[in-house]
Amino acid sequence: MVNLKVVLSVIFLGANLSAQDARKLQDSFIKVGEEVGPAVVTIGIKRKGASQKNPFSTESEFDIGSGVIIDNQGHILTNEHVIENGEELQVILSNGQKYHPKIVGRDSRFDLAVLKIAEVNLTFVKTADSDELKVGQWCIALGNPFGISRKAKPTLTVGVVSGLNRSLPRSKGGKYYGDMIQTDAAINPGNSGGPLVDIDGKLIGINVLIFSTTGGYQGIGFAIPANLAMRIARSLIKNGKVDYGWLGIRVADLAETEVKDGVRGAIVETVMEGSPAHKAGVLEGDLIYEFNERHVRTSTDLIQHVLITPPGEKVSVKLRRGDQDKTLSITLEARGE
């Protein structure tokens, strides 16, 4: 009888602890919504030509996207495709206040844009180090899917980081979707440009697209890592454009049958004479598998790593030439338009 009491006590104690942990987790989600929500904005876009009607909005001529305030000067980060072909833009804060924003700059390669509104000292999101993300950690997506919130208060959905370093095919518009964060937090049309944050409410990514056969959420969404997004944003704010790094090579993916010892990477097809790669000794046929301490699995990985590295920076490149591994030091130059 004593043993039964002990067992029952342990069971009930465990149940109580689980309930307490669940409430603490729930409180964490609530806190994120309260603290980050005011930094999330709805972006209304009146596009050139026909525009999709939003059944949840009285302003049905406006398409809906999301964005996030990133500093106390009124700068807003969103996706470039959100404002693409927009002839009139509107930013709506979570309190319903409306503004006509200025476009500070846009980057079509990485699908990012920065807007600015004539308001300062607003709530803005703090940024985490997205290079430290782990698969399985909690993440929270905020935005205005389908324009459901008429008062622009963001929707909050919860999931986990379900994958990292996802490289997607280059879009027809020339956008690079490499090194993406994959999440199962519900993301739908209208969430684009909104923040993906961690359990502490810090920005880890900008929601950009979903994988779907129906046009709606099917459990797989993608976000641009915060480190990349903020690097692009800072450059747009400072210069109105982004200076891309240039290596001076053409690369292709390594065929599966060519993979040896599990080493994947980008195979060098052409080295341009006089380019940074040429000066450093890169040769055709070299297999680049690491760039500046970041793994290279595909040609898209390498292209993105190079593009986001500022011109003039010296980088370390690891490659395999035949049966030998080599490490080269290369100083990148500016990529021309």
Domains in the chain, please, with CATH? 31-242 (2.40.10.120), 245-334 (2.30.42.10)
Greatest CA span in the chain, whole angstroms? Answer: 86
Cα–Cα distance between 192 and 188 in angstroms, integer?
Answer: 8
Q: Which residues pair with 253 in a beta bridge?
A: 266
**Predicted pLDDT at 5:** 47
Average pLDDT over residues 75-96: 94
**Predicted pLDDT at 259:** 78
**Predicted pLDDT at 255:** 79
Predicted confidence band of residue 192 (pLDDT cuts 50, 70, 90): very high
Q: Enumerate long-range contacts of 2-6, CB under 8 Å, 24 or more apart.
A: none
The answer, yes or no, to whether residue 83 has pLDDT greater than 80, is yes
pTM score, whole prediction = 0.80
pLDDT digits (tens, 9 = 90+) for 6-55: 444 444 444 555 888 888 999 999 999 999 999 999 999 998 765 454 54
Average pLDDT over residues 214-229: 85
The secondary structure element, H or E, covering residue 86 is: strand 86-92
- Percent helix, strand and coil across the chain, each rounded to 5? 25, 35, 40
Q: Which two tokens stand for residue 199?
A: 């359990």
End-to-end C-alpha distance for the chain, whole angstroms = 81
pLDDT digits (tens, 9 = 90+) for 100-121: 999 999 999 899 999 999 988 9
- Sequence-ordered list of residues with C-beta below 8 angstroms from that of 217, at least 6 positions apart, any chain: 186, 187, 188, 210
Q: Which two tokens stand for residue 300?
A: 């898209």
Q: Which two tokens stand for residue 323?
A: 């049966």
Map tokens 């990529």 to a residue. 335
Residue 169 Cα distances to 176, 178, 187, 219, angstroms = 8, 8, 20, 19
pLDDT digits (tens, 9 = 90+) for 52-70: 545 444 445 678 999 999 9
Lowest mean pLDDT among 242-246, 274-278, 279-283: 242-246
The answer, yes or no, to whether residue 284 has pLDDT greater than 90, is yes
Q: What are the residue numbers of the active site?
A: 81, 111, 192
- Sequence-ordered list of residues with C-beta below 8 angstroms from that of 129, at least 6 positions apart, any chain: 226, 227
pLDDT digits (tens, 9 = 90+) for 159-182: 999 999 887 776 666 787 878 999
- DSSP H helices in 194-316: 226-239, 276-280, 299-307
- Sequence-ordered list of residues with C-beta below 8 angstroms from that of 182, at least 6 positions apart, any chain: 161, 162, 163, 164, 166, 220, 221, 222
Average pLDDT over residues 88-94: 93
Residue 227: left if φ>0, alpha if ψ -120 to 50, beta else—which one? alpha
The percent of residues above 90 in pLDDT, for the chain, comes to: 60
- Sequence-ordered list of residues with C-beta below 8 angstroms from that of 307, at least 6 positions apart, any chain: 109, 110, 176, 244, 245, 335
Predicted confidence band of residue 1 (pLDDT cuts 50, 70, 90): very low
